[in-house]
Structure 1
C-alpha cells in the first residue's frame, strides 16, 4: 500500500505532496527481492550494467508523483526506449507486493541501510 502524506509549510503557506515507499519494506528486504527476481543481472545500485543503475533511475524520477505506479507497471510489463534500445523484459510472475517494495526502494535512492 502506498502511503501519501501531505505537509503544509506554515511559513510559506504552500502545500507539498510526498509519496512514501511501502510501509513494510526495508532496504535489505528490497535488495533480497531484487536479487531473487533477476533484477541484479541487469542493474546495480551505483553503476550501469545492461540497464541503468538503481541510483540513476531514482535521480531520473525524483519529484515525479506518478513514478511509483509507472515503474511498477514497467517492471511487470517490461518496456523499452527510455534508457536506450535494449528492452527490459517483463516480470509477470513477480509478486505485486515485491514489485512495490523494490520500486519504492529504488525511488528512495536504493539505500543499503
Structure 2
C-alpha cells in the first residue's frame, strides 16, 4: 500500500477531504503531482469548464473509468461509497486551491 501524503490545497475541515483520506484516494491521486492516476489539480483543470462536472465525476467515482487518462490508467468502481460521501468528495475536490 502506498502511504498517503497530506491533502494540501484541499479544505482541511471539509468532510470530503476527510473521506479522501479515509478511503485512500490519494494512494492514486495526489495533490501536486501524478502518482498512479492524475493529480487532483489535473482533474479539476480538465473538468473546470464542464457544466455537469460534479455529476460527471460522481459517476466516474461510483462506476470507475478506463481510457480517459490513457489506456494504462483505470480506476476501479467505488460503488461501496454512499452517494452522500461521493458528493462530499467531489465538493471538496472543486474547492482545491490551485
Which category of TM-score, normalised to the shorter sequence, fits these structures?
0.7 to 0.9
Structure with the largest fraction of strand = 1
TM-score (norm 1): 0.69
* CA RMSD of superposed structures (Å): 1.8
Tell me how far 1:79 sits from its aligned partner.
Answer: 0.5
Gaps of 5+ in 2: 1-9
Runs of 4+ residues deviating >4 angstroms: none
Partner of 2:76: 89
> After superposition, where does 1:1-113 map in structure 2 within 5 Å?
27-28=11-12, 29-85=15-71, 86-108=73-95, 110-111=96-97
Aligned pairs, number: 86
CA distance in 2, matches of 1:94, 1:55: 22
Gaps of 5+ in 1: 1-25
How big is each residue's C-alpha offset from its partner over 1:74-103, in whole Å with a ceiling of 9 and x where there is no partner? 000101111112210110111211111111
TM-score (norm 2): 0.79
Which structure's CA Rg is the greater one? Answer: 1
